[in-house]
């Protein structure tokens, strides 16, 4: 037996890659926080053996539904009735009545024939897209350049031809399709709300292109479900075009406050994914308590329009406060508020400064989530953020902005055309 430590060569390769991202400034650190039930956005931060109270400003729990007493009660009841886990895949003892009722609720929400629940929105996108696209010989996939990693991986896994069109550029999409036979299978893949740019897809125009060229549409609504539309089904519902969307992907982990993802579509497409998607077939189903809580959350959000009204009022208030403070941010009309920094190290420094000095938490968004040179912090107001908490946060951000402005000034010109400020 050889006595030298041959495994060190493997470890050194991995450590070299880790050192690279540390040097570039986009090494990620987990912040140990515990949100306080019933007191959100308050949370307890555990750091270097100490604890302190902080305000969270970067959660995707948009409506605070993780704190909803009816949702919590539904989860507790389900766990007491069925136990903690599901015990298997959906095909092998892992389908409960909560899973069935949840999928019926999701299908009704999107006015589709059927739905299928996954353990995450990422898994739903990757698994569903890979299986659907793979089914069609010579399929051409048309993907928005800013699509989420889960969409990209699903497309890549299909090993079919892909064409990337410029973000929200319908003319470019049309140009790509020129000369492509109508009979050739095609799928257009896009999102309704892009969480890093905070903008909306031109759905009506994309639908027209799809119909003119014989293409299916796969729409990711994860940052829109629970928020937009009369029944909180998303942007497609709000625009009145949901019937023209072939497959809708959504999440239970953002506005609905739980965990998991899903697709909603026709009987045929859902049955196909259920039968052929390995990511679905070979994964233990979501815990019954999560399914029960998600079901209750969707029903609560649909019935309680006041919480959504309060949410959008708060978004408007936060934006107005940022403008008054002279903090530049992208404002494309959605609920997400990105403050562009443009440098990964500075982005991390600002985030750390806000947390350490002001006890407000906004996570730096660095590469590979966004391209290098477009690093940002992303603010997500909720109905739970009071005016007092907002004013405290804006003052903290203003302090950080003034402190780091000399270092940030060289990036201002890069974003002058995109950033809206006073």
Please give the positions annotated as active site: 254
Q: Give which of 294, 288, 291, 334 is closest to 315, Cα–Cα.
A: 334
**Residues 400-418 as b or e (16 or more Cβ within 10 Å = b):** bbeebeeebeebeeebeee
Q: Give which of 238, 235, 234 is closest to 225, Cα–Cα.
A: 234
Tokens of 206: 């994309």
Tokens of 296: 């209750």
Contact 332, 199 (CB under 8 A): yes
Distance of CA 12 to the CA centre of its chain: 34
Token pair 């515990």: residue: 34
DSSP states of 4-49: S-TTHHHHHHHHHHHHHHHHHT------EEEE-TTTTTEEEEEETT
Q: Give which of 412, 396, 281 is closest to 341, Cα–Cα.
A: 412
Tokens of 300: 């609560």
Contact 248, 236 (CB under 8 A): yes
Contact 378, 338 (CB under 8 A): yes
206 Cβ neighbours under 8 A, 6+ residues apart: 170, 173, 188, 190, 217
């Amino acid at each position: 037996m050889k006595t030298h430590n041959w495994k060190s060569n493997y470890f050194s390769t991995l450590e070299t890659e880790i050192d690279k991202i540390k040097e570039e400034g986009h090494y990620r650190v987990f912040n140990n926080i515990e949100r306080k039930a019933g007191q959100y956005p308050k949370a307890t931060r555990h750091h270097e053996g100490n604890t302190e109270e902080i305000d969270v400003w970067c959660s995707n729990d948009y409506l605070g539904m993780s704190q909803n007493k009816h949702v919590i009660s539904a989860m507790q009841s389900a766990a007491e009735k069925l136990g903690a886990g599901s015990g298997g895949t959906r095909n092998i003892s892992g389908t409960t009545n909560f899973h069935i009722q949840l999928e019926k609720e999701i299908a009704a929400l999107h006015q589709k024939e059927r739905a299928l629940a996954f353990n995450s929105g990422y898994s739903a996108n990757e698994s569903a897209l890979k299986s659907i696209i793979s089914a069609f010989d010579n399929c051409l996939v048309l993907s928005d350049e800013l699509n989420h990693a889960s969409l990209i991986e699903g497309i890549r896994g299909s090993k079919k031809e892909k064409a990337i069109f410029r973000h929200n550029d319908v003319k470019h999409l049309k140009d790509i399709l020129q000369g492509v036979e109508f009979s050739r299978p095609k799928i257009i893949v896009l999102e309704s709300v892009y969480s890093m740019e905070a903008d909306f897809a031109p759905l009506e125009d994309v639908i027209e292109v799809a119909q003119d060229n014989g293409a299916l549409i796969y729409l990711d609504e994860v940052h829109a479900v629970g928020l937009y539309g009369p029944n909180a089904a998303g942007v497609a519902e709000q625009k009145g075009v949901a019937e023209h969307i072939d497959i809708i992907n959504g999440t239970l982990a953002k506005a609905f406050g739980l965990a998991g993802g899903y697709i909603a579509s026709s009987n045929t497409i859902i049955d196909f994914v259920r039968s052929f998607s390995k990511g679905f077939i070979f994964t233990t189903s979501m815990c019954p308590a999560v399914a029960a809580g998600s079901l209750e959350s969707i029903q609560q959000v649909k019935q309680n329009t006041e919480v959504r009204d309060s949410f959008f009022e708060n978004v408007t208030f936060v934006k107005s406060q940022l403008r008054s403070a002279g903090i530049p941010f992208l404002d494309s009309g959605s609920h997400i508020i990105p403050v562009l920094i443009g440098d990964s190290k500075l982005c991390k420094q600002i985030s750390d400064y806000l947390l350490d000095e002001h006890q407000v938490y906004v996570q730096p968004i660095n590469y590979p989530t966004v391209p290098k040179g477009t690093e940002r912090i992303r603010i997500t107001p909720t109905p739970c953020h009071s005016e007092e908490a907002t004013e405290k946060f804006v003052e903290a951000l203003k302090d950080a902005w003034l402190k780091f402005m000399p270092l940030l000034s060289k990036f201002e010109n890069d974003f002058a055309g995109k950033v809206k400020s006073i």
